Chains A and B, each alone.
Chain A
Amino acid sequence: MNEIIRFDDVTYSYAEGSAPALDGVTLAIRQGETVAVLGHNGSGKSTLAKMLNGLLTPASGTVAVCGMDTKDESRLLDIRQKVGLVFQNPDNQIVATVVEEDVAFALENLGVPPPEIRERVDAALRDVGMLEYREHAPHRLSGGQKQRVAIAGALAMDPLVLAMDEPTAMLDPKGRGEVMETVRRLNRERGVTVVMVTHHMNEAALCGRVVVMDRGKVKLDGPPGDVFSRAGELQSLGLSVPQTVALAQGLGLDAAPLTEEECAELIFKEFSRC
């Protein structure tokens, strides 16, 4: 698979002398992947997200997006366009008073001709299932809807990567479901590469790859089944595992079932023999 983003021995700290937020991170994001980044508060995962589109640049090491070094300011607009970044608080990233105006914001900044903006805005809103709300005021929408508008705002740039920093942290279960479903559909149908920082283990379980951060370093990296099978290690990093995994491992099974069906079948096989 094609490598889109590459971190090479990236180090960064917010203040001189303080513990580094990123400490020698080497990581490659390939096209079409869905990557969940886990870690307790202060593990460096948000810093990692801000490195993806050059909001922050490494103190040492390099981050390259499609071969462009994020330190190269002349390429910054190209990089930002390739990597759309969505944040935690949906209220604080919506600029305009009308949904469609907000989605158009990036395209207006890029100087796209008006008729094309119209087309791409409608397409982006359709992709996140918010087309019928295009003339609504953002503050009247639910949390999940606002976050989908924010995703559409990034999507309108036609990015290769959709990066999200805890996009569901402030949402209720319904909103979380909406966002996760939208993101997975975009990945499946549009081939958008997804990188999402999250605290929710069951969201990570829905991704194809899980990266666990601790004190600025990548501690675990692999498919969710592999990562979650190391429950003890995750707990020592201040994380947890999905409840199905906790159940299976508590019963002494050497597996990490991620769905209820899988979990029930595993347990049934093991415990109904007698």
Chain B
Amino acid sequence: MLKDITLGQYFPGSSIIHRMDPRIKLILLFCFITALLMANHALTYAGVLLFLALAVAVSRIKPKALFKGMRPMLFIVIFTAVLNIFYTPGEPLVSFWVFNIAAEGIERAVFMALRLTMLISATFMLTYTTSPIFLSDALARLMSPLAKLKIPVHEFAMMMTIALRFIPTIIEETDKIMSAQKARGADFETGNLFRRAKALIPLLVPLFVGAFRRADDLAVAMECRCYHGGEGRTRMKQLHMTAEDAAVLTGGLLLLSGLTVLGRLGWFIP
């Protein structure tokens, strides 16, 4: 059933990482990704991995949960690795038909797979430990200087909040309409692609009509509560940087920038 899917995966908790200002988490993620992409040697990789492992340990997120969430991405990781094995030039170790496998290829494949896995894990670490509302809020605040360039930052943030709010409602509604049409003999599961696509009409039309009805209702309800855009708005929850946040940020930044620089300069260990 659709209801069983957990979207916007957030595992509430009380670790340092959970409590951390979401803006800091976003900045650190950004730096982490930079360091990761700059890394070009086993030792820099090890450094970045260590940083990630530390974060996972502190957050008390079970590594198992992390791997489970990664399963849908596994295909991309493997696909990239396989491409790298075959398409990296070098002295062939094995060759058959038109394929050559070089030692360099294997090395690159391993690093690429590792890089992608770490990238995905780190992003999950952010969404697992941050409630969606804080995340969208943090994004809006980090982007708020853009409002001066007439970019509608407030509107984007509002849209994101509303989308997050209505995802569960719409999923529930999808479930309900599907059952209702099945009760009238609708068949969503058999037939060729064309028939299946056609079978979706009885689901999609009511879903869209419903979404518009909800949007209408919501707009009126927002108006009733004095909504008039972002101008002059205040927020109940202020994001405060604590000393703890500042310390983590400084430490994390130092470590990651160190790794980035090392990655760039190359590592002169043979």
A contact residues vs B (CB 8 Å cutoff): 53, 55, 77, 80-81, 84-85, 87, 89, 91-98, 100-101, 104-114, 117-118, 121, 137-139, 150, 153-154, 157
Closest to B158 in A: A95
* A121 to B: closest C-beta gap in Å: 6
How far is it, in angstroms, between the C-alpha of A112 and the C-alpha of B226 when the chains are bound? Answer: 12
Question: B234, A87: Cβ atoms under 8 Å?
Answer: no
B137's closest neighbor in chain A, by CB? A101
Question: Once the chains are docked, how many angstroms separate the CA of A223 from the CA of B224?
Answer: 29
Determine whether B195 belongs to the interface, using a CB cutoff of 8 Å to chain A: no
Q: Name the distance in Å between B226's Cβ and chain A's nearest Cβ.
A: 4
B241 at the interface (CB under 8 A from A): no
* Contact call A105/B227, Cβ cutoff below 8 A: yes
Q: How far is the CA of A94 from the CA of B235 in the complex (A)?
A: 17
Q: Give Cα distance in the complex from A25 to B220, angstroms.
A: 23
Secondary structure type dominating chain A contacts: helix
- For residue A81, which residue of chain B has the nearest CB? B226
Whether B233 lies near A111 (C-beta < 8 A) is yes
In the complex, are the beta carbons of B226 and A77 less than 8 A apart? Answer: yes
Bound complex: CA A98 to CA B237 (Å)? 12
Q: Which residue of A lies closest to B213 (CB)?
A: A92
Q: Is the CB of A55 within 8 A of B165?
A: no
In the complex, whether B214 has a CB less than 8 A from a CB of chain A is yes
CB-defined contacts of B222 to chain A, threshold 8 Å:
95, 105
- Among B162, B214, B220, B225, the one with the most A-chain Cβ atoms within 10 Å of its Cβ is B225
Q: Which residues of A contact B190 (CB under 8 A)?
A: none
How many chain B residues touch A (Cβ–Cβ < 8 Å)? 30
Inter-subunit contact B214/A91 (CB<8 Å): yes
List chain B residues, Cβ under 8 A from A97. Answer: 131-133, 161, 164-165
With beta carbons under 8 angstroms apart, the residue of B165, B214, B227, B234 that contacts A117 is B234
Q: Are B133 and A98 in contact (CB under 8 A)?
A: yes
Contact A95 B162 (CB under 8 A): yes
Q: Are A106 and B133 in touch, CB under 8 angstroms?
A: no
Whether A87 contacts B132 in the complex (CB less than 8 A), given A105-B227, A108-B236, A117-B234, comes out as no
Chain B 204-245 interface 0/1 with A at a Cβ cutoff of 8 Å (1 = within): 000000000110011011111111100011111110000000
The CA-CA distance from A93 to B166 in the complex, in Å, is 11
Q: List 20 A-B contacts (CB under 8 A).
A: A55-B224, A80-B224, A84-B224, A85-B224, A91-B214, A93-B217, A93-B221, A95-B161, A95-B165, A95-B222, A96-B165, A98-B131, A101-B236, A105-B225, A107-B234, A108-B233, A109-B227, A111-B232, A117-B236, A139-B165
Contacts A77-B226, A109-B228, A114-B234 known; 18 new A-B pairs at CB < 8 A: A80-B223, A80-B226, A84-B224, A84-B225, A92-B218, A93-B217, A93-B218, A95-B161, A95-B225, A96-B133, A100-B236, A101-B237, A106-B226, A108-B234, A109-B233, A110-B226, A114-B238, A157-B226
Cβ–Cβ < 8 Å partners of A153 in chain B: 225
* Cα separation A104 to B133 with both chains bound (whole Å): 14
Indicate which residue in B165, B223, B226, B232 contacts A138 across the interface (CB closer than 8 Å): B165
* A104: contacting residue among B214, B223, B228, B236, CB under 8 A: B236
